[in-house]
Chain A
């Protein structure tokens, strides 16, 4: 049981390049999330997927797109990377459905640098 896995662990991009961050969970969770973490700012939600087949914008969606490929996988795409997107990206998942309280489980993160 690996929990939440993310690839790659590290990536360096030049401004304008594109890339996709991959995330998968094996806990049969309904909801998945992408966050970015910047120094002194905690985690900020980029996009989330409340259930398979749905995605919605979070707090900081500009410059990103997502795909909920199936129940297990949720990818984050940067179409044209900018230095402001230099950050650590975390994927998370939770049981989801309904308004009950469900803690989120986090992956190990992807450290992205855009030069």
Chain B
């Protein structure tokens, strides 16, 4: 069965410092993995996706994530945080099921960015 664990419920950084949001997954298949971002009172927006091509995936707004099969991890990073990055981030694994792709969401990590 597929599952995803986000290791931190809250992360706080200063503007201009690096961001690291941690995600571990469990999958009996070769997984497809996503990071989504949700700004306050908004819907979810796709940041990036891993689909068994390059292990280092670049997304929008300077974010990237590295797929590490040996560690079953898919951590999200950004070299320099911006105030506009304050949001909730969801790590998601895709599980093929009955002809469609079921998405299994982590509980989310709330990122706060301080001046």
Contacts and interface: CB of A to CB of B under 8 A. Distances in A.
Interface of A: 4, 31, 40-45, 48, 50, 56, 58, 90, 92, 94, 96-109
Given A40-B108, A42-B105, A42-B107, A103 B34 contact: yes
Contacts of A103: 34, 46, 49
Interface of B: 9, 32, 34, 36, 41-46, 49, 51, 90, 94, 96, 98-103, 105-108
A87 B45 CA distance: 19
A45 B99 CA distance: 16
Given A101-B51, A106-B43, A109-B43, A94 B102 contact: no
Contacts of A92: 44
Contacts of A42: 90, 105-108
A102 B107 contact: no
Contacts of B101: 94, 99-102
Contact of A104 (B9, B103, B107, B108): B103
